[in-house]
Amino acid sequence: DVVMTQSPLSLPVTLGQPASISCRSSQSLVHSDGNTYLNWFQQRPGQSPRRLINKVSNRESGVPDRFSGSGSGTDFTLKISRVEAEDVGVYYCMQIIHWPWTFGQGTKVEIK
Amino acid sequence: EVQLVDSGGGLVQPGGSLRLSCAASGFTFSTSLMGWVRQAPGKGLEWVAKINGDGSEKNYVDSVKGRFTISRDNARNSLYLQIDTLKAEDTAVYYCARGWAAAWGQGTLVTVSS
pLDDT tens per residue across span A7-45 = 999 999 999 999 999 999 999 999 999 999 999 999 999
**For chain A, how big is the Rg over CA atoms in Å?**
13
3-state secondary structure labels for all residues of chain A = CCCEEEECCEEEECCCCCEEEEEEECCCCECCCCCECEEEEEECCCCCCEEEEECCCEECCCCCCCEEEEEECCEEEEEECCCCHHHCEEEEEEECCCCCCEECCCEEEEEC
Closest to A51 (Cβ–Cβ): which among B59, B101, B107? Answer: B101
pLDDT of residue A92: 98
In contact, B37 and B101? CB cutoff 8 Å: yes
pLDDT of residue B89: 96
Chain B residues with CB under 8 Å of A95 CB are: none
pLDDT of residue B97: 98
Q: Cα(B79)–Cα(B52) distance, rounded to whole angstroms? A: 11
d(CA B15, CA B7): 20
What is the Cα–Cα distance from B114 to B98, expressed in whole angstroms?
Answer: 33
Mean pLDDT over each residue of chain B, to the nearest integer = 97
Find chain A residues with C-beta within 8 A of B102's C-beta. Answer: 51, 54, 60
Collect all residues from B whose CB is shorter than 8 A from any CB in A: 37, 44-47, 50, 59, 61-62, 95, 100-107
| Nearest-angstrom CA–CA distance, B36 and B90 | 13
Task: Please report the pLDDT score of residue A17 as a whole number.
Answer: 98
Which percentage of chain A shows pLDDT scores above 70?
100
- In this prediction, the residues of chain B whose per-residue pLDDT falls under 50 are none
Chain A residues inside the 8 Å CB shell of B107: 48
Q: Which amino acid is at A81?
A: S
